[in-house]
Amino acid sequence: MALMDDISKVAKQVAKEAEHVVGKAVKQAGELTDANRHKIEDALDKAGKFVDSKTDGKFSKQIEHAKDAADKGVAFVAKQKSAHVPPRPGQSRDDDDATGPAASWDDTSVQDSVAHLDGTAPPVGESPYPNPIPPYSPPQS
């Protein structure tokens, strides 16, 4: 039961770290999109005009709808610049984030090596699993 508790604890830490990293990425994407919004809109305009010219205006309405949808998507991503970034596990909201993604990771409860089911460590070079997965060999044609 202690192993399951350890696994559960580590899984929760990983989930919290992932939530922090994803929140940070979303916020950064919003900041970059907002800072480069005019470039993105110019590129969408150019692409729309190019496609419209190649289709002789047959799909102008659909192209305009697609451009409007893309503009809404750009606006949505740009709004994420003010998204909430959850703190890292073990950090308060006010802590500086300059120490790297694994700075607060507590791995004292995680074993350095995998153990056999009976709790003994496998000898060096031996797999702890009875039937390890063989390496992938692509089929020969």
3-state secondary structure at position 59:
coil
Residue 2 lies in a domain: no
What is the residue range of 76's domain? 41-86
Residue 13 lies in a domain: no
Q: Is the pLDDT of residue 96 over 50?
A: no
Question: In total, how many domains does the chain have?
Answer: 1
The predicted model scores a pTM of 0.55
Q: Is the pLDDT of residue 110 over 60?
A: no
Using alpha carbons, select from 128, 89, 129, 126 the residue that is nearest to residue 109.
Answer: 89
Q: What's the rounded mean pLDDT across residues 78-88? A: 85
> What's the rounded Cα separation, in Å, for the pair 86 and 78?
19
Q: Is the pLDDT of residue 76 over 70?
A: yes
Residue 62 lies in a domain: yes
Residue 74 lies in a domain: yes
Residue 50 lies in a domain: yes
Q: What does the pLDDT read at residue 45?
A: 94
